[in-house]
Amino acid sequence: MPTAPQIDSETARHVLWHYGRPGGFRPGSFTQKLMEAIDAADVIHTARLRAAYPELVDAMNAAANDADGTARLTAIANGSASKEA
């Protein structure tokens, strides 16, 4: 069974920015477009994107779907939490 990727503080800040949350930091244009693609992807394409960008897909999934996702990402961005998704 594969392990969950580690979400680093930079990725956490980019995802927070994408969702308009405090503590976010605007990424470069490629990452912005990649996050838009992840948001728009269906299940099959999300799986394909996750194969290449597991940390980003998991961080975006946490922010969009987990009740405490943005809180966990904020803690990671601030360096005060576990980096596991």
Q: Which of 1, 3, 13 is nearest to 60 (CA)?
A: 13
Query: What is the pTM for the complete model shown?
Result: 0.86
Q: List pLDDT tens digits, range 14-63.
A: 999 999 999 999 999 999 999 999 999 999 999 999 999 999 999 999 99
Contacts of 25 (CB under 8 A, 6+ apart): 10, 13, 14, 16, 17
Q: How far apart are CA 15 and CA 58, in angstroms?
A: 10
